[in-house]
Amino acid sequence: MPTARNARGVDIIAYNQDGSRFIGVQVKALSKRNPVPLGTSIDKVMGDFWVIVNNVPSEPKAFILLPEEIRERAHRGEKDERVSYWLQPNSYDTDAFREAWHRIGRGNEGTNKARKRDAAKSRRAR
């Protein structure tokens, strides 16, 4: 379910086809190829994936990143003794992230594989 602008938390919760797994997706939509505002702390970066879409009104391009990739690439800015973090366009607008929807998956692959992996972990934990 979509959230209101600047609401705390992830923007999208997506489930796989059988409802056994879910992911949280943070979405940032930009009208141009601008920096992505991250707020006053990179400790608050959440979700399983980030989808950054720039050039929304004309030629939208999507970039798929993991939260740790956001934190690693964050730029720290300071103005009037206030700290803020930004993700610069050259940090997210790369071939590795551009239209990389395969990083999220389709929701139908790996379900049996994931169940087998989880069952094996459970057996080892006993």
Q: Over its length of 126 residues, how does the chain's per-residue pLDDT go in tens digits?
A: 444 555 678 999 999 988 999 999 999 999 999 999 999 999 989 999 999 999 999 999 999 999 999 999 999 999 999 999 999 999 999 999 999 999 998 877 654 554 455 455 545 654
What pLDDT sits at residue 9? 82
What pLDDT sits at residue 7? 64
Residue pair 14/21 in contact by the 8 Å Cβ criterion: no
Torsion, Cα of 109, 112, 114, 117 (10° steps): -150
* Residues 6 or more apart in contact with residue 21 via CB below 8 angstroms: 15, 111, 114
- Per domain, the residue ranges of the chain are 12-125
Output the pTM of the full model: 0.78
d(CA 4, CA 83): 25
Q: Kind and range of the H or E element at 46?
A: none
d(CA 102, CA 88): 23
